[in-house]
Amino acid sequence: MAEQIVVLEQVETGIHRLLVNRPQALNALNAATLDALEQAIATVAADAASRVLLVSGAGDKAFVAGADIAEMQSLNTAHAAAFSRAGMRVMHALEALPVPVIALVNGYALGGGCELALACDWIIASERAVFGQPEVNLGIPPGFGGTQRLLRRVGRARAMGLITTGRQVRAEEALAIGLVTQVVPVAALMDTGLAIARTIAAKGPLAVKLAKQAVRHGADLDLARACAYETAQFAQAFASADQKEGMRAFLEKRPARFSGA
């Protein structure tokens, strides 16, 4: 049986790991990999028991080193547009997951790999991680959302500088400019991600989902409308069993037993 190019596994109850599994190609994103990613993300979205998704790349060299240049080189305009739309669907689907998504970047995250990491809610990087949008070196701009998500992550000037020069940044600089949230030794990468995932999985599942929705939706609204949306999310939580259990547990000085309802 051929090895899976994308592996989705349940690491612990409520915690899934999505692995891009083409280490011989530095996990480059070709059409088949994008299709497999889209299917895996849909599986997580349909799982009511899911609490956190960790995204990583196989091997010790790359998270995802980019889109597959060998596949892209002969594309015409129509086929390039279709390839871009396929990549966009994956990034939008990942970003829209109701549960928090954490990228664990062990090595190169370039081009489509950087875009995949940017579609996650935050990024934990190993000390040897390298990020960049080097597409201009190939005579093309980013095509999987890099111009827009990098802009929103690090600001217009930094995003423009990185995208138009194709410059790559190592983990510490990525941390300094706000591209990543945390830098850890490579040996601690998975353990760090799991520790954060366990912390999230222990919280009220509905509250976490409502909070993520508020952050995502509010980012594109003016402050007044964003705060009104937060009010609606806050009020919605009070119709839940989790709200009653969480507050009762607090007053009774015991751990809450959340059900997600």
Distance CA 35, CA 219 (A): 28
**Residue of 71, 95, 135, 173 marked catalytic:** 135
Buried b (16+ CB within 10 A) or exposed e, 68-98: beebbeeeeeeeeeebbebbbbbbebbbebb
Q: What are phi and psi of 56, to 5 degrees?
A: -145, 175
User: Which residues are paired to 232 by β-bridges?
Assistant: none
Q: Which one of the listed residues 3, 12, 115, 173 is annotated catalytic?
A: 115
DSSP 3-state of 250: helix
Q: Return the amino acid letter for 47.
A: D
Is 115 an annotated catalytic residue?
Answer: yes
Contact 95, 115 (CB under 8 A): no
Residues, the chain, total? 261
User: Annotated catalytic, 135?
Assistant: yes
Distances (CA, A) of 137 to 63, 111, 130, 159, 178: 20, 11, 16, 16, 24
Q: Are 177 and 160 in contact (CB under 8 A)?
A: no
Location of structure tokens 């950087």: 114
Residues involved in catalysis:
115, 135
